[in-house]
Structure 1
């Protein structure tokens, strides 16, 4: 049996890293030969998680084809979010919780996608279905991923399944998930030490919307004014990436994790669909989005509808 690599999306968040680790552990227990890798360095939140559980970071790759013929994807399916040479390898498995878009294969594959708050929640169900025990350390990592993706179960993407799984994983890991979760989320909001490019690259995904390439970055914070004190520099960084990477529109969603409100910074064109999507006029390149915390559920769907109108 040939070795396969398992990885999450580019600019990996905690779930992209943890889901790769979790699925690799499960697949290897079931007889496969896999290695979890990453398509980028861990962000500060993920570094906190790995340090807390004394877990090594994943090896970072830029191409898969020089190493393997076949790969497994977690926490994504859209090619533009995946490894650069995804077209040169066979995708044998996908485990995801996002929309399916621009994805096709030449051969049948295992595809598991559920509308849950976190990919690690889906993988937890796969452990249960295969009667494979989750070790305490891995339970802590998977718990961290769900806390990250659901903003400590406050995001509208959160389902009852996510809540139940968090409680079960917390028992296995022996963790007070409320206290730990708040500490973990705050660890990811240390913005002062990061450059503007680092801020907009840390958690960003690209979407093809009716012929336009839209990049959506999210910055979690406990102080929105701290983010927008750097607005001019953030705009300059986004314009540079638009030019370098061919993005038409760069959207920066700054989210206050304490009160679940966001501000959107809009850089590039077209802007009319953005105003249509949220029913507001852009002022000073910004939109106020109270109650918006989820890129997946509250930002991308209305943008997709507006671009396709």
Structure 2
């Protein structure tokens, strides 16, 4: 039986790393030879969770075909978000909670995607269906993923299933959901030690929207001033990114995780589409997005529709 590498998207977030670890364990329970790997360094939030639950960070890869012929994708399916040589390997599994876009395979595969708050929630259901026990540390990482993707169950992406699963995982992991959750989210908001490039890359994805390449980064904070004071530096870093890529539009979503509000820096082409998508004006490369916290539900669909024309 050939080895399967399990990984999430580039610029990995907590759901990506945790889901790779959890699905690796799931595959091993099924008898497969698998390994969780990552397509980048864990961010500070994810590092906090890994240290708290005493789990070693997955090793980082840039290509997969030099090691294996089969891979499993978690928390993504869009090729531009995946490993650089995704076309050179066979995708045998996809576990996800995002839209399906630009994804195709030459062979049948196991594909499971649900409109739910995190990939870890989907995985919990799969563990439950197989009656597989979840080790405490793995449960802690899965809980961290749900907390991260749902902003401690406050994001509009949160479902009743996510809430139920989070409390069950908290019990297995032996942590208080609210206390641990707030500590986890705050761990990811230490922005002063990061360069502008690190801020952009810590949680960033490229999307194909009707042929337009759009990059959306999200920066979580507990004080907008921590970001607004660095506006010039951040936009300069965005412009450098645009020069070296085929991205046409770059949106930097800045979210206050305590107040559940956002604004965004917008750089590049199609400013009219941005204004149409959010019914707000872009002024001095900035747009106000009150009540917006979810890239997946409140940014990507709206921009995709606006760029269709």
Q: TM-score, normalised by structure 2?
A: 0.99
The residue number in structure 1 matching 2:135 is: 135
After superposition, the CA RMSD in angstroms is 0.6
Structural mapping, 1:147-226, within 5 Å: 147-226=147-226
The residue number in structure 2 matching 1:116 is: 116
Equivalents in 1 of 2:174, 2:51: separation in Å?
17
**Structure 1 position 211, deviation (Å):** 2.1
**Structure 1 position 267, deviation (Å):** 0.7
Q: Secondary structure at the match of 1:175?
A: coil
Structure 2 unaligned residues grouped into runs of 5+: none
Superposition misfits of 4+ residues, deviation over 6 angstroms: none
1:291 matched to 2:285: no
Q: Deviations over 1:37-90 (max 9, x none)?
A: 000000000011111111101100000000000100000000000000000000
Equivalents in 2 of 1:252, 1:233: separation in Å?
13
**Structure 1 position 220, deviation (Å):** 0.2
Q: Secondary structure at the match of 1:93?
A: strand
The residue number in structure 2 matching 1:5 is: 5
**Structure 1 position 270, deviation (Å):** 1.5
Q: Secondary structure at the match of 1:62?
A: coil
Equivalents in 1 of 2:124, 2:2: separation in Å?
25
Equivalents in 1 of 2:79, 2:202: separation in Å?
19
Q: TM-score, normalised by structure 1?
A: 0.99
Equivalents in 2 of 1:290, 1:47: separation in Å?
29
The residue number in structure 1 matching 2:24 is: 24
1:253 matched to 2:253: yes
Q: How many positions carry a matched residue from both structures?
A: 309
The residue number in structure 2 matching 1:78 is: 78
Equivalents in 1 of 2:139, 2:280: separation in Å?
42
Structure 1 unaligned residues grouped into runs of 5+: none
